[in-house]
Chain A
């Protein structure tokens, strides 16, 4: 059974700091990994999708890496801003196109 773990559970940083969120998964036989952002009381916004053949994906100040063999992914946020405050979730597909989610990292960027 695929299990996804995210560390840390919560993170508070001052504005402008670069930060890394971690995601690990137990079954490395995945074909992609997706990072999402969730604001309080809202749905999920897709940030980055990394296919298994890729090692990283970039979108603006976000960079996600994937190391299938070690079962790890990181989300790097450069020059963090208060608007980046949200919960960040990583997810990997399991059987039947379902996604297994981590518990999320709650990020607070202080002005």
Chain B
């Protein structure tokens, strides 16, 4: 199947700093990528839909100024957690669709963010 790569897999930062997480589709082009957040023992919560060449679409309740999303190319989307606080500590996962809108969705390995 298609491969989606996330980097870094783990990051620890101090409160108030910003952290960037990258999501790459390695063997296909993804015009749309999705960013999810997962709390311990919970399912995934969609944060935003990242569209190549345009602004991201954020889900209700997600602060767009805190979670900056950039989708500058067909193979790369980035999520920047700005002025991170301990409550932002979480597991962040990106996904991308291979081809058709009704095609299979592939996920990255996730990024564990810990804010001290």
> Which residues of A are at the interface with B, using a C-beta cutoff of 8 A?
31-32, 34, 36, 41-46, 49, 51, 89, 91, 93, 96-99, 101-104
Of B11-19, B68-76, B77-85, B97-105, the stretch lying at the interface with chain A is B97-105
List the B side residues contacting A102 at CB < 8 Å. 43
By the criterion CB–CB under 8 Å, are B42 and A96 in contact?
A: no
A89/B43 in contact, CB under 8 A = yes
Task: Decide if B32 is an interface residue (CB 8 Å cutoff).
Answer: yes
How many residues on the B side are at the interface (Cβ–Cβ under 8 A)? 26
If over half of A's interface residues share one DSSP class (helix, strand or loop), that class is named, otherwise mixed; here it is strand
A32, A45, A46, A51 — which one has the most chain B CB atoms within 10 A of its CB? Answer: A46
Contact with A along B50-64 (1 / 0, CB 8 A): 000000010000000
Q: In the complex, what's the smallest C-beta–C-beta distance from B114 to chain A, in angstroms?
A: 12
> 16 interchain pairs (CB within 8 A)?
A32-B102, A34-B105, A41-B91, A41-B110, A42-B109, A43-B107, A44-B107, A46-B104, A96-B57, A97-B32, A97-B101, A98-B34, A99-B44, A99-B95, A101-B43, A101-B44
Q: Which residues of A contact B43 (CB under 8 A)?
A: 89, 101-104
Name the contact of A36 in the complex, choosing from B46, B57, B107, B112 (C-beta under 8 A).
Answer: B107
Q: Is the CB of B110 within 8 A of A99?
A: no
Which of these, A31, A36, A42, A91, contacts B102 with CB under 8 Å? A31
Q: Per-residue CB proximity of B30-43 to A under 8 Å, as 1/0?
A: 00101000000011
Q: Are A34 and B93 interface neighbours, CB within 8 A?
A: no
CB neighbours (8 Å) of A104 from chain B are: 43
Contact A51 B93 (CB under 8 A): no
Chain A residues within an 8 Å CB radius of B91: 41
**In the complex, how many angstroms separate the beta carbon of A90 from the nearest chain B beta carbon?**
10
